[in-house]
Amino acid sequence: MEARALSVAASQPQALNLIDGQWCSGAAQRWGDSINPASAQEIGSYAASNKADAQAAIAAARRAFERHDWSDNPVLRETLLLQWADRLAGRADLAHLLTRENGKVLEQSRREIACAIAELRRYTALARRCPASRRAGPGGRADVLVDAAGVVGLIVPWNMPVGILIGSLAPALAAGCTAVVKPAPQSTQVSAAVIGELHALAALPKGVVNLVSESGHEVARELAASASVDVLGFTGSHESGRKIALAAAPSMKKMVLALRGKACCLVFDDVDIGRVASRLAGAATLVSGQQCSAARRILVHASRYEEMKQALKHALGQIVVGAGDVPGSGMGPLIDAAALVSVGVRTEQALDSCDEVLLRGRRPGGGLKNGFFVSPTLVAQRDCSGFAFQEDIFGPFVVLGTFGDDSEAVANACKGGACKTVSVWTGNPRRAARMARALRDATVWINQDASAETPDGLIRAGGPDGMADFLRTRHIVRS
């Protein structure tokens, strides 16, 4: 099959592997089903690859890196990354494909893609600006060279498949690395479409970017274990992250892990409770609550606790559950049948242990009965060390708690370990600044919610720091 002849478009039913510049099926000729979570119907298939496919892709990326026509050509990298961004911006159908495969509301898909393209363009501007320095010493001169780390393996999750793919791949490519991307099986179609727009650029050297999908874990394990992979990036759960880190340990490769947390929201007594409740309801149901930055733990000042109970119950009850591409839908389905079962089981456990059930999630009937839908659940629990607060129920489950003062707010937010993101809602700028300093989290929002965020899962968001994980530093000392 000719490398440039195959168009991986939104309507393409088969998501193929891309290895060494060629679109191909897996070595075992096996296929997995791509499912629309809103209908549980098949919308295409993807190559269910194995260890041999992963090894071929890694070898291709290694050859491409060692040829130096990519790693030593920053002008080419800048040009192609910019052209890739322009091509993605011209694909209005990508958002529809993302919604059809992932289930999220269409407006969320559009925002994710727009943020990802903006991120890609930021790294385009940095492709020619890798830092270097030179210093003189008593014995001569030392040059500090900073260049590409080598071959990068990227394991991309399904909840933000475009945002995290580009947010990880763009800095790696800008730095001069080559890559092997392994998408989640639930997002192979949109991943192939996004990578396909880069592959369509004739000047891209073969093997620079490789894409290998799978239904199991062989490919991920090989990316972790292979000594030919210099950097491994993974976004996902703590459990999966530990397994990947153990598999990667013998090779001593650099690890870039973004492990899932459970975001917390702190609401102080000087805000409009009705307005904040509406914002938090939207943030709680972002990607149907299947995102670490979704507002699933909410702590409110004790003086406004009862008021927030009613306001948040009303706001969540107003969320329209439906297919993501249907106008008016505020929340789509869960990603798959397994998620529906897992969220259901853990939600029932939380309902049994909480202080009060304010809103009980339901499975809708009618035209939605075949999809993986469930409406939001809201519970109240004052003990912030309890199951409802600490268990990571990855879905539209919200727990409401309370605090008395600033120090208790920080202690309760961080109970059980610092969460990845916290939003602080207050009309007092000095308090907001104090909270931002006191909270030991990667991201603190001030009077903002997850809907205002660029795609999560990025270890360092934007700028030169985003490239640091994909660079190596070398010292050359001369007499």
How many Å separate Cα 24 from the centre of its chain?
Answer: 26
Alpha-carbon distance of 214 to 219, in angstroms, equals: 7
The share of the chain scoring above pLDDT 90, in percent, equals 76
Global pTM value: 0.91
Per-residue pLDDT tens over the stretch 121-180: 999 988 887 655 555 556 667 777 888 999 999 999 999 999 999 999 999 999 999 999
Where do the CATH 3.40.309.10 domains begin and end in the chain? 264-419+421-452
Average pLDDT, the chain: 90
DSSP string, 416-439: TS--SEEEEE-S-HHHHHHHHHH-
Name the CATH topology of 264-419+421-452.
Answer: Aldehyde Dehydrogenase; Chain A, domain 2 (3.40.309)
Residue 244 · residue 251 · CB < 8 Å: no
Distance CA 354, CA 386 (A): 8
Q: Outline where DSSP puts E strands in 132-280.
A: 133-137, 140-148, 151-156, 178-183, 209-211, 231-236, 254-259, 264-267
- Residue pair 458/165 in contact by the 8 Å Cβ criterion: no
CATH code for the part of the protein at 14-260: 3.40.605.10
DSSP character at residue 320: P
pLDDT in tens, 448-459: 876 544 444 444
Cα 288 from Cα 101, distance rounded (Å): 14
Q: Would you list the DSSP string of 147-172?
A: EE--EEEEEE-SSSHHHHHHHHHHHH
Look-up: residue for tokens 């529809």?
Answer: 96
- Per-residue pLDDT reduced to its tens digit, 165-190: 999 999 999 999 999 999 999 999 99
Mean pLDDT to the nearest integer, 203-221: 97
The tokens for 246 are: 């153990």
pLDDT at residue number 452:
42
CATH 3.40.605.10: which residues of the chain? 14-260
